[in-house]
Structure 1
Amino acid sequence: MRSDVDVLVVGGGQAGLAVSHALTRSGLEHVVVEQGRIGHTWDGRWDSFRLVTPNHTIRLPGGEYRGNDPDGYLARDEIAEHLRGYASSFGAPVSERTRVEALRVDGGGFVAETASGGIRARRVVVCTGAYQRQHRPPFIADFARRLPVVATTDYRAPDLLPAGRVLVVGGGQSGCQIAEELSRAGREVVLAAGRAPAVPRRVAGRDVFDWLIDLGFFEQTLAQLPSPAARLASNPLATGANGGHDLNLRTLAGRGVGLIGHVVGIDGDRVVAADDLDECVATGDRVFREVCAGIVRLALSRGWPAPEVPEMPASGLDPAPAPRLADLAVVVNACGYRPAYEWIGVPGVVDDVGFPIQVDGASTRVPGLHFVGVPWLRTRKSPLLIGVGEDADLVVDRLAAA
């Protein structure tokens, strides 16, 4: 397949579809190429996965949530079906199962190489997701030589893991959700903690994300972060499972999950963990208290009664003994993800952390190259269902004006 198109959109997830919607509205010729099926990233989550933000935060342009449970949390399959319905609603020109292997500058435009040939485009919008590659610290390979290792992208359900004790490495949102699910299923679990922020699920009957929206949390910009590397930090711990409830290191310990510091390697038959569980717990507690304090200030500023907020205990948590490999049946690698843009054949297109160098979605290195759905592209909400549409409209308005 070799064809010419004005705008090529690489990626058919929420970002790519939001861009396609805006391009369709603007009358710009385009095609969207998606390496799998529309919604396949959501399809690839574990069986019980649900949104961690309320359904009403699905605010794609022309594809907003219109169901009867705005404060609930859509299941994995429902999220994917919502995206497929969104694409159908405006006839998005999506070519599924078309993976772009390489993108190169060619004359006054670009050529995207796929297994079935090249696609020549005048402009390109890259919408390949917030992060593209699972992070595998070197010690994960050491585990894999001794034990089964399952990535979060491959995890589906507790009964599909080998029987026995489970070590979950990585204390971010996915790792903590999986650890909780395994514990609820009666599995013995050890979690290698991380410095993820903790938040209450609800305050005064209102979802924490509604409070955070009003607090301007999602409007924060990259300039407000302590460093560019902070873009790789964990999101607030939250879960939409079982109606949505608090999820943090303390709730996991209360369920009987053994907690250790972050894993640094293997020594003989024993897992070696850092002596930093106290710091991990303290980080989560500190953010929890800051968020609660912000909610109280916001309520008072609006003339509302001061809401009753939950409190974290002052005491720390005792670490579990570092497990022996002989006592483990499987390791779940939940160490997060990293950006991956090596397939774009332009030197210097990304920064030292691996994110595109851009201003409001436009590459500062390559004219005609744009990005949407990148973490902190403009604000914290840039890759999310609540905010990606705003960035898509901004980028397409620029394309339409060119």
Structure 2
Amino acid sequence: MRADVDVLVIGAGQAGLAVSHGLTGSGVDHVVLERERAGAAWAARWDSFRLVTPNHVISLPGGEYRGGDLDGYLDREEIGVHLRDYARSFAAPLVEGTDVTSLRGEGGAFVAETSAGGIRARSVVVCTGAYQREHRPGFIEEIGREVPVVGATEYRAPDSLPGGTVLVIGGGQSGCQIAHELAQSGREVVLAGSRAPAMPRRVDGRDIIDWLGDLGFFEQTLADMPSPAVRLASNPLISGANGGHEVNLRALAAIGVGLIGHVIGIDGARVRAADDLAESVAVGDGAFTEVCAAIGRLCDSRGVPVPELPELPTTEIAAATPPFLDDLGVVVNAVGFRPDYGWIAMQGIVDDMGFPLQADGESTRAQGLFFVGVPWMRTRRSPLLLGVGEDADLVVRRLAAR
């Protein structure tokens, strides 16, 4: 594939396709390279996976949701279909089945080595997803020597796992959704919780995502947050499965999931867990209470009646006894993901957490290198189907002006 192009876009998820839509409309010569097929990253989710955000907030430029289920949640196959239809709608110059193995600067331009050869570009937009590498703490390797370990992206369905008790490590959105599905299927489940925000799925019949939009939640910037570590924090504990519901720690306890603190290792034959479950529950409870109070304040400020606000479930929670390894059939590792830009052969392009050093999507270390779809690139909405288009348009304007 030795060739020259003005702009190379790497990745054909929502970010890469939104960039391509803008570049096509601006008449900018470009190509989009995708390792598998457009939207393939969504197919790596479990079988019953659905978006947590309702369909009506999908707002890609020229790729808004136009189906008949505005308040529903697309499943993983439907997301892929939506993105591929989007690519076809503007004849995206998409090359699928081509893996970019490295990227380097050369002579004022960039050279990408791919599974089909090399390609030279004046500018590059990296759109490889919010997180690229499953995080596997050292204790996961220890446990894996005794019990089968399945990553969150490897999990498919309850009957795809070995029999026996399932320990889900990681109390974020994915871990809690998986634990909920497993418990509902009749599996015995223990979840190692973590500090994640609980929220009601709906308030006054209206999706919490819409309320959060009104509250300015998605407009928050990294500078508004107490620490850059928020980029690795959990999203609200809600699910789009089965019409949408809550998967917070109290909801899980109510269906029989055993809860323990976060895992810190193994002690002989038993899993070791920190004595911090109560703190994790308190964080979730606090977020639930605060978002309901904020909705009340918002309604007051608008001079409209405050709706009946949901109350926290009253489920009592007591920490379960950490399981013996011999009692476990399988462990699901759902402790999250980390960015991985190691294939970009340029010094100093990421910060100490591995995220690109950028300003409004443009690298502050390599002129002509851009990123879209990065968590908190500009705001909380940056990587999401409801917001990535805004960042893409900003980057496209800069590229068109070059």
TM-score for both structures, normalised by structure 1: 0.99
| Equivalent in the alignment of 1:338 | 338
**Aligned-partner SS, 2:37:** coil
User: Which stretch of structure 1 is more off in the superposition, 360-369 or 229-238?
Assistant: 229-238
Q: How does 1:360-399 map to 2 (within 5 A)?
A: 360-399=360-399
Alpha-carbon shift at residue 314 of structure 1 (Å):
7.2
In 2, are the aligned partners of 1:281 and 1:316 still within 8 Å (CA)?
Answer: no
Q: CA-to-partner distance for each residue in 1:186-238, whole Å, 9 max, x for gaps?
A: 00000000101000000001000000001000000010111112211111111
Aligned equivalents of 2:52 and 2:315: distance in 1? 28
**Aligned-partner SS, 2:245:** coil
**Aligned-partner SS, 1:301:** helix
Which letter does structure 1 place at the counterpart of 2:335? C
| Equivalent in the alignment of 2:190 | 190
In 1, are the aligned partners of 2:250 and 2:315 still within 8 Å (CA)?
Answer: no
**Aligned-partner SS, 2:82:** helix
Q: CA-to-partner distance for each residue in 1:23-52, whole Å, 9 max, x for gaps?
A: 000000000001111111111111100110
Q: How does 1:196-211 map to 2 (within 5 A)?
A: 196-211=196-211
In 1, are the aligned partners of 2:5 and 2:119 still within 8 Å (CA)?
Answer: yes
Alpha-carbon shift at residue 118 of structure 1 (Å):
0.7
In 1, are the aligned partners of 2:44 and 2:154 still within 8 Å (CA)?
Answer: yes
| Equivalent in the alignment of 1:241 | 241
CA RMSD of aligned residues (A): 0.9
Gaps of 5+ in 1: none
Q: How does 1:220-369 map to 2 (within 5 A)?
A: 220-312=220-312, 317-369=317-369
Q: CA-to-partner distance for each residue in 1:111-142, whole Å, 9 max, x for gaps?
A: 00112211100000000000110100101101
Aligned equivalents of 1:54 and 1:304: distance in 2? 24
Which letter does structure 2 place at the counterpart of 1:369? L
User: Is the counterpart of residue 64 in structure 1 residue 57 in structure 2?
Assistant: no
**Identity level (%):** 70
Aligned equivalents of 1:326 and 1:315: distance in 2? 29
Which letter does structure 1 place at the counterpart of 2:354? G
| Equivalent in the alignment of 2:104 | 104
| Equivalent in the alignment of 1:84 | 84
In 1, are the aligned partners of 2:170 and 2:194 still within 8 Å (CA)?
Answer: yes
In 2, are the aligned partners of 1:278 and 1:316 still within 8 Å (CA)?
Answer: no
Alpha-carbon shift at residue 304 of structure 1 (Å):
1.6
Which letter does structure 1 place at the counterpart of 2:280? C
Alpha-carbon shift at residue 97 of structure 1 (Å):
1.3
Aligned equivalents of 1:46 and 1:126: distance in 2? 26
**Aligned-partner SS, 1:190:** strand
| Equivalent in the alignment of 2:4 | 4
User: Is the counterpart of residue 173 in structure 1 residue 173 in structure 2?
Assistant: yes
In 2, are the aligned partners of 1:170 and 1:191 still within 8 Å (CA)?
Answer: yes
Aligned equivalents of 1:252 and 1:232: distance in 2? 23
**Aligned-partner SS, 1:329:** strand
Structure 1 residue runs of 4 or more that deviate by more than 4 Å after TM superposition: 313-316
Alpha-carbon shift at residue 395 of structure 1 (Å):
0.3
Which letter does structure 1 place at the counterpart of 2:146? R
Alpha-carbon shift at residue 68 of structure 1 (Å):
1.0
| Equivalent in the alignment of 1:40 | 40
Aligned equivalents of 1:268 and 1:94: distance in 2? 52
Aligned equivalents of 2:298 and 2:225: distance in 1? 22
Aligned equivalents of 1:397 and 1:360: distance in 2? 11
| Equivalent in the alignment of 2:156 | 156
Aligned equivalents of 1:154 and 1:315: distance in 2? 31
In 2, are the aligned partners of 1:34 and 1:94 still within 8 Å (CA)?
Answer: yes
Aligned equivalents of 2:40 and 2:269: distance in 1? 38
**Aligned-partner SS, 2:164:** coil
Aligned equivalents of 1:243 and 1:99: distance in 2? 36
Q: CA-to-partner distance for each residue in 1:168-191, whole Å, 9 max, x for gaps?
A: 000000000000000010000000
Aligned equivalents of 1:313 and 1:82: distance in 2? 36
Q: CA-to-partner distance for each residue in 1:356-398, whole Å, 9 max, x for gaps?
A: 0000000000000000000000000000000000000000001
In 1, are the aligned partners of 2:361 and 2:395 still within 8 Å (CA)?
Answer: yes
Gaps of 5+ in 2: none
Aligned equivalents of 2:387 and 2:115: distance in 1? 33
TM-score for both structures, normalised by structure 2: 0.99
Q: 1:153 to 1:315 in 2, by over 3 A?
A: closer
User: Is the counterpart of residue 117 in structure 1 residue 117 in structure 2?
Assistant: yes
Aligned equivalents of 2:315 and 2:354: distance in 1? 39
In 1, are the aligned partners of 2:254 and 2:315 still within 8 Å (CA)?
Answer: no
In 1, are the aligned partners of 2:251 and 2:313 still within 8 Å (CA)?
Answer: no
Which letter does structure 2 place at the counterpart of 1:61? P
Aligned equivalents of 2:232 and 2:166: distance in 1? 25
**Aligned-partner SS, 1:308:** coil
| Equivalent in the alignment of 2:130 | 130
Which letter does structure 1 place at the counterpart of 2:397? D
Aligned equivalents of 1:383 and 1:375: distance in 2? 5
Which letter does structure 1 place at the counterpart of 2:330? V
In 1, are the aligned partners of 2:183 and 2:256 still within 8 Å (CA)?
Answer: yes
In 1, are the aligned partners of 2:36 and 2:98 still within 8 Å (CA)?
Answer: yes
In 2, are the aligned partners of 1:198 and 1:248 still within 8 Å (CA)?
Answer: yes
**Aligned-partner SS, 1:278:** helix
| Equivalent in the alignment of 1:143 | 143
